[in-house]
Amino acid sequence: NAGVTQTPKFQVLKTGQSMTLQCAQDMNHNSMYWYRQDPGMGLRLIYYSASEGTTDKGEVPNGYNVSRLNKREFSLRLESAAPSQTSVYFCASSEALWGQGFEQYFGPGTRLTVT
């Protein structure tokens, strides 16, 4: 099992460019998440997908869109990158749809720099 995989590992964008971060999990989890990690702020939830076919905004959704392509894959798109989106992006997945919480499993991250 690869767990949660993310591509790319590193990316540099110019302001205004667009890109899509890819995430896939092979644990048959229902729920998937996108976070950004900034120094001193922990991880903040951008978007999540509680189940295939649904997506919802998290704490910091502005400037991002997501697609739950199927049960395995959950992509994050930056339509017009801004320097404020320089961050490390983590994808995660979890078994629980509703009820008692289950741990989230994290991918290795994508380090994005917007110049």
Residues that bind other proteins (CB under 8 A): 31, 33, 35, 40-45, 48, 50, 56, 58, 90, 92, 94, 96-104, 106-109
User: Which tokens in the block code for residue 66?
Assistant: 């997501």
Q: How many residues does the chain have?
A: 115
Minimal distance, residue 12 CB to other proteins, in Å = 18
Considering the complex, state which of residue 69 and residue 96 has its C-beta at the smaller distance from other proteins: 96
Considering the complex, state which of residue 85 and residue 104 has its C-beta at the smaller distance from other proteins: 104
Q: Name every residue whose Cβ is closer than 8 Å to that of residue 101 and which is 6 or more positions away in sequence.
A: 94
Pairing assessment for the beta strands 10-13 and 110-114 based on DSSP bridges: parallel
Considering the complex, state which of residue 73 and residue 95 has its C-beta at the smaller distance from other proteins: 95
